[in-house]
Amino acid sequence: MMAAYNGHPPVDARFKRQRVKYDGAEPAGTIVVDTSEKFLYAVEGEGWATRYGVGVGEDGRTVKGKATIGRKADWPAWTPTASMMERKPRLVQYAGGVPGGPDNPLGARALYLYRGGKDTMFRLHGTNEPWTIGTEVSSGCVRLTNDDIIDLYDRTPVGTTVLVI
């Protein structure tokens, strides 16, 4: 039996990282995020992908369509956007930013989504709240467990295409 996190349940077994058959049309090296199913696929080609469970944006706030990994960060800093602070006034206390580290909401790694050379402000990132994997919880970013984002980060170069459906 898996241990709980500070009284929270462990990550549901179906959201654990695993290699799966993949029948999508995307080429190897593409990342596909299925927000309705709450899975991210790192397409490997020849009908295979590594599948990760994810937490996605609440109330349809997740970005949709194509983007590119424009930047990567190891233990990234985080600053809530103005719209996040407007929706959730409790975040104003972090307006000056939160340095990278284990208490940072972006977790161990972040992959920054860009369109047209500009930061979309959406990320694929880790979380210090792994019990949220498989839920609609974020302000629009895609969350993975810290172990999973480290694995994805290590296999994903800047320039990788991301398709969010």
Catalytic residue among 38, 123, 125, 143: 125
| 12 catalytically annotated | no
The answer to whether the pTM exceeds 0.85 is yes
The CA radius of gyration of the chain, in Å to the nearest whole number, is: 15
- Give the active site residue among 141, 142, 144, 152: 141
pLDDT digits (tens, 9 = 90+) for 83-133: 888 988 888 888 888 888 888 889 999 999 999 999 998 999 999 899 999
Report residue 76 CA to chain centroid gap.
13
Q: What is the largest CA-CA distance in the chain?
A: 48
Decide if 141 is catalytic.
yes
Categorize the per-residue pLDDT at 32 as very low, low, confident or very high, splitting at 50, 70 and 90.
very high
**Structural domains of the chain ordered from first start:** 13-164 (2.40.440.10)
Nearest to 66 by CA among 143, 144, 159: 159
Q: What is the pLDDT of residue 71?
A: 97
What's the confidence (pLDDT) of residue 102?
85
For residue 74, pLDDT over 60 is answered with yes
What are the CA-CA distances from residue 137 to residues 34, 60, 134, 142 (Å)?
15, 10, 9, 9
Q: What is the pLDDT of residue 119?
A: 94
Helix (H) / strand (E) element for 123: namely strand 118-125
Query: What is the token pair recorded at 110?
Result: 């972040």
For the chain, give the mean pLDDT.
91
Can you count the helices (H) and strands (E) in the chain?
2, 11
Cα separation of 85 and 80, whole Å? 7
